[in-house]
Amino acid sequence: MERRKFVKQVGLGGLLSSLGLDIVYSANLPKGYIPLALQDTDPFELFAKDQEMTILNRKPWNMEAKAHLLDDKITPNKYMFIRNNGLIPQIASASDWQLKIDGESVKTSKTYTLKELKTKFQTVSYQLTLECGGNGRSEFDPPAKGNQWTVGAVSCAEWTGVRLKDVLNDCGIKDDAVYIGYHAADIHLSHDPTKEPISRGMPLRKALQEETILAFQMNGEDIPLAHGYPLRLVAGGWPASVSGKWINRLSIRNIEHDGAKMKGSSYRVPCSPVAPGEKVKEEDMCIIESMPVKSLITYPKTGAIFSMEKKLDVRGHAWAGELSVRMVEYSIDFGSTWKPCKLEKAVNRLAWQHFQTQIEFPKKGYYEVWARATDSNDKKQPMLLPGWNPKGYLNNACHRIAVKVS
C-alpha cells in the first residue's frame, strides 16, 4: 500500500504504536514533520519504485532510473526520478487543500480549494517531458557539486489538471507582470519554518502557455506524494525545478522572482562559454529556460550480447525543450558515420518523441551504439560533453550503449 495512504489511515501515532512505541512529546511535532522512523523506511516501498532505481541522496530524497527502465512511452511512477530540495510534507487530506494567488501584479488576490480548481476551470491532459537541469552531471570534469545524476533524471508522464493561465486570468494580471513565483508545503532541511527549500518560477510567457498546468493527477491517478500530491505545477520542456510540487501559493511578480534557488549559480549557466573550473560571477550567469535537444536509448540494455545472425532492434526517446525533434540518427563507428532512425511525432507539444531502428553489424566484436537527435532549429546533440559550467547543468551529450556481437 502506498505509504501516504497508510499514514493517512492509521496516523503517525497509530503507526508507531503498532510497533510497540509511543511518540514522546508527540504534541510538539512540527506541522508536516514525519518522524525519522518513517523517513528511514525502505524507499522503494515508500515511493512505490522499482528496485533497480538508483538512490543518490536520502535527505533530501533524490532517485533516478537506469536508461533501460525508461522504455515505456508514458513513464509509470515506478520509474520516475525523484528530485527534492527539502523534506516531503505530510499531507493528511486534499479536501482542505488551498491555493492562494497573490503578488504585486495580481488584480484580485484569490484562494481556491482543490475542488474549486477542478470544477471552475476546464480540465486538460498532456504528456509532458520533465528533466532535471543536472541530468548527466556525473560526466563533467572537473566534477560539479550536486547529485551525480547519470542519464535517468528524465520522464514523460501524462499530467491532468487545469491550465495555469485560466487561473491567473480569473484573478487578473496587471500590465507590469513579468514573472510567476511558486511556494509549496515542503519543509526546509533545517526545519526552520521561515525558510523555503525551493521557490522558483517562470516568466509570464511560459506561465501562459497552453501546456503549463496545475496538475492533480499523474497517469490517470492522484499524483503520488513524492511527485507533488495533491497539486503540482507542471511546465514541460524547462528544467523540472520550474515544476514545483505541493503547490499552495503562486505569486504574480513585477520583477524576476527572487525566491529560494533563483539566485547565485542555482539553475544558471554562464551566459558565455568559460574554461573548465573557472569561477563565474553571479551577474555573468543566465537562468536556464528551454532544455537542449537530447535522446536516450532505452532498448536494449547496455551490455547486451546477441547473435551475428540477427539484426539488433534499438529504440528510445528524444526531446528538445520548447522545440520539437526533427531527426534521430545512430552510429556504430564512434560517430564517424550516422544513419537515420524512424522517428514518431510527439503526441502533443512538449512530449518526448519515440525512435526506433534495426542495426546490422559487419562482423563479430564489441560495438557502441550512439544516438544523436537534431531539433527543429537544426541544432544537433554534441557527441561528447558540451561546455563546462559550475553546477554541471545541461549535459546533452549523445547517449551510448555497449553491445557485443557473438
Tens digit of each residue's pLDDT, the chain (406 residues):
444 443 443 344 434 433 344 667 777 777 666 666 655 567 888 889 999 999 999 889 999 999 999 999 999 999 999 999 999 998 878 889 999 999 999 999 999 999 999 999 999 999 999 999 999 999 999 999 899 999 999 999 999 999 999 999 999 999 999 999 999 999 999 989 999 999 999 999 999 999 999 999 999 999 999 999 999 999 999 999 999 999 999 999 999 999 999 999 999 999 999 999 999 999 999 999 999 999 999 999 999 999 988 899 999 999 999 999 999 999 999 999 999 999 999 999 999 999 999 999 999 999 999 999 999 999 999 998 888 999 999 999 999 999 999 9
What's the pLDDT at 222?
96
How high is the pLDDT of residue 90? Answer: 83
Nearest to 353 by CA among 149, 152, 127, 69: 127
pLDDT for res 14: 39
Q: What's 223's DSSP letter?
A: P
Say if residues 230 and 222 touch (Cβ distance below 8 Å): yes
For 398, the grid coordinates are 549523445
Beta bridge partners of 268: 287
pLDDT of residue 403: 97
Residue 161 phi/psi, 5-degree rounding, is 180, -150
Domains and CATH numbers, the chain: 1-29 (no CATH), 98-287 (3.90.420.10), 294-405 (2.60.40.650)
What is d(CA 267, CA 173) in angstroms, rounded to the nearest whole number? Answer: 27
Would you call the peptide bond into 273 cis, given omega within 30 degrees of 0 as the criterion?
Answer: no
Grid cell 522512523 in the structure block, residue: 37
Residues 6+ apart with CB under 8 A from 266: 391
pTM: 0.90
Q: How many residues does the chain have?
A: 406
**pLDDT for residue 30:** 72
257 and 200 Cβ atoms separated by less than 8 Å: yes
Q: Among 315, 361, 311, which residue's Cα sits nearest to residue 341?
A: 315
Cell triple for 54: 538508483
Residues 6 or more apart from 323 whose CB is under 8 A from it? 290, 293, 375, 376, 377
SS3 365: strand
